[in-house]
A and B are shown apart, each in its own frame.
Chain A
């Protein structure tokens, strides 16, 4: 094979391999950074933190909405199932679960909540959900993220949403 042809093919191969590898790694790498940042802010995993109204000075995630009250919990299932309980407000709210590859694998909004709250047990991959009483979801990775959104397009409604989420829970269920 002529040297220039060999080098050209090597170049194309290197471009293709690294391009694809970069694209595949990017979501997990970005999500890992987000996990670490949120975990640090919360003081650990399996702890729900309530963010203040998103402004120019406190925004951390790209394209955050200034019209929503966010609560977030990095869920670590290495120690067993995690219990989530979210009070139902008077406005739109949703609980969205994200895998380590950023995919939004489960979402529940207030229209689907039964009763005054949303309660679920988040199970590690491979768990037998048939053994669990009540609602349970199985996570596709050992670390996932719960993001709660509550509609809060103005200060008055933010105050209502903030009060409504005061009793929300995201905690290890083992032993409880």
Chain B
């Protein structure tokens, strides 16, 4: 009797562990793939029926209805250029150069992979805004990513990280000129530079 109970307990524990590990490895960011480029990552099988089951499960959980790379390439980022986790307590400058795609955008998502719950109306920055913020297309665009705009930073381009907690950024490239792995690894993707020390909680 005791033997059967032990066996059943082991099976149940194994099943729970199996389910838990499945959930753990399929969470996280949309990128999380093997193709990386200066802090950004992607998986070229996103949206494809050739994606392995773990990629398919991850995309279903954190990027449902993503397009395959023939149409759109998705890069994801969770750290700044020093490797520190992106966090709403910090301010960053994202430097964006012209990207070889029909249209592109960078969108901020909270830890739950949703738009951050704030009323700042600044969840993303896209190619059309880049064209408006500078006269010379050859000059990179600087975008402030922070919980609030600040006059200390000389740019009107802004993505709000208010209420985002530890957030991620998704770069979408629609109709990229070249979606081969080699080409994607060489793209001049945006840099993310933290500005000074991260903010502390306000004094009570």
Contact = CB atoms under 8 A, between A and B. Distances in A.
Contacts of B139: none
B64 interface: yes
Contacts, number: 165
Interface stretch (B34-42, B55-63, B191-199): B55-63
B162 to A, nearest CB: 11
Interface residues of B, number: 60
Interface of B: 3, 6-7, 10-19, 21-23, 26, 30, 47-49, 51, 53-54, 56-57, 59-68, 70-71, 102-103, 105, 107, 109, 112-119, 123-124, 126, 128-129, 170, 172, 174-175
A171 B172 CA distance: 31
Nearest to A11: B14
Given A23-B53, A27-B60, 8 more contacts: A13-B14, A19-B18, A30-B64, A56-B118, A92-B174, A102-B59, A105-B49, A109-B175
Contact of A24 (B51, B53, B68, B170): B53
A63 interface: yes
A104 interface: yes
Given A63-B62, A153-B126, A103 B14 contact: no
A22 B22 CA distance: 6
Contacts of B17: 11, 14-15, 18
B56 A145 contact: no
Given A96-B71, A109-B71, A7 B19 contact: no
A10 B126 contact: no
Interface residues of A, number: 51
A66 interface: yes
B19 A62 contact: no
Contact of A102 (B11, B60, B170): B60
B124 A67 contact: yes
A66 B12 CA distance: 43
